[in-house]
Amino acid sequence: MNNRLIQAAGILLVLLLLVSCKGGNGKDIDNSGPGNPDIEASAGPVPSRQPAHVSHSREERELLAFIDKELTGPYGVYTNLAESAQSGEAATGHEVLSESASLMMQSAVQRGERERFVQVWEQAQEIFDMEGGFSYRYSPKYSRQYSVNAAVDDLRLIGALVAAGETFQDSSFTQAAERYGQRFYNMNVKNGYMYDLYDNIYNNTNNYITLCYINLDVLRNLSIPSDDRGILLHNMTGILEDGYISDDFPFYETRFDYESGTYRSETINTVESLLSILHLTEMGRHNPQSIRFINERVDAGTLYGQYRRDGVPANDIRSTAIYALAAMIGREAGDEGLYRRSIERMNEFRITDEASPLYGGFGNVETGEAYSFDNLMALSAYSYTPQ
């Protein structure tokens, strides 16, 4: 695959947000309308965090019921409750994403639901597993498994397996995490640097890394030689931390281009920066200015979907996933006030009309749209427990 085609494939992956940085719909959704009232270079593996989520709130139970009854089909969680022709460049309708499977596995571990975890994991293997990684997307209508993986989703799947092995005391999950972690390193890492995607047909990667893909917590647990892991962790931590924009606007650049050695961002997508901040917070390496900024915007209800690099909002769209991520960052940072207020903001988007098919979920009652990313991030936020 020549460089231009590789770059085009990679850019398409980012623009369409094939993974959790923005979700399967590829854009932030304003669902507030009518009807919605210092890491050492030689660091080895460390124990994964064990979830301690016990109680289930009413909102969490109702959301899970909506996902199970309305948003899930025979191949997994729909990208969108509203069906489509499944022929677009971005995943739509009842197509399914490895992103969704990884989020469901993660939240099942957090809630201690072994049976659900096993069911989702077995289905994910059947639908998404390829020789070079997990396909990011599957179209049931065309029985089409897309040939590229997405590093962020593969890492989340691996991380969920590690956590499941510890939480459920099942070595088979741990062994699977080791096997797929080694495959990820072989395919998505070159010369100590991680890349967004691996193309299973052309046997090549793109030429950059999207910062929100850098899940440091999972990288430090990869079952690879300690020297290799230390180099990878050192390199990717540096790229992520150096993507910090400024104290005035404490978000992060979008991607780092390995050929030019530069960061590139058009607009700053809030979901992407929040994921970057969450990954740093999990390691205790977040910048306090980021937490301050998020607190201020959550308090004001003005944490918007996109910003210019000078920190000026590029739109006034708010979304469920934005506040879900803010909540997770708050809990991981030990800021329970931020967690609670973010959940309150997120719940403003809940569908509370018991007569609506979207009841308990997050979506648009007028259009019948409900996206997997919004709903699964909300589910993760409800059950999120820092490690």
Measured from the Cβ of residue 201, the count of other Cβ atoms closer than 10 Å reads: 10
Measured between alpha carbons, how far is 1 from 6 in angstroms, rounded to an integer?
6
Residues of the chain with pLDDT under 50: 1-20, 24-54
What pLDDT is stored for residue 15 in this prediction?
A: 36
Q: d(Cα 189, Cα 182) in Å, to the nearest integer? A: 10
Q: What CA–CA distances, in Å, run from 136 to 101, 130, 374?
A: 10, 10, 17
Number of compact structural domains in the chain: 1
* Cα gap 290→246, rounded to integer Å: 10
Distances (CA, A) of 104 to 77, 151, 379, 383: 9, 17, 9, 11
Instruction: Report d(CA 74, CA 53) in Å as an integer.
Output: 28
The CATH number linked to 243 is: 1.50.10.10
Exposed, middle or buried, 38 (CB in 10 Å: 0-12/13-18/19+)? exposed
Q: What is the pLDDT of residue 23?
A: 52
Domain range spanning residue 107? 3-383
Residue 5 has a pLDDT of 33
pLDDT of residue 89: 77
User: What pLDDT was estimated at residue 219?
Assistant: 98
Tens digit of each residue's pLDDT (9 = 90 or more) over 243-270: 999 999 999 999 999 999 999 999 999 9
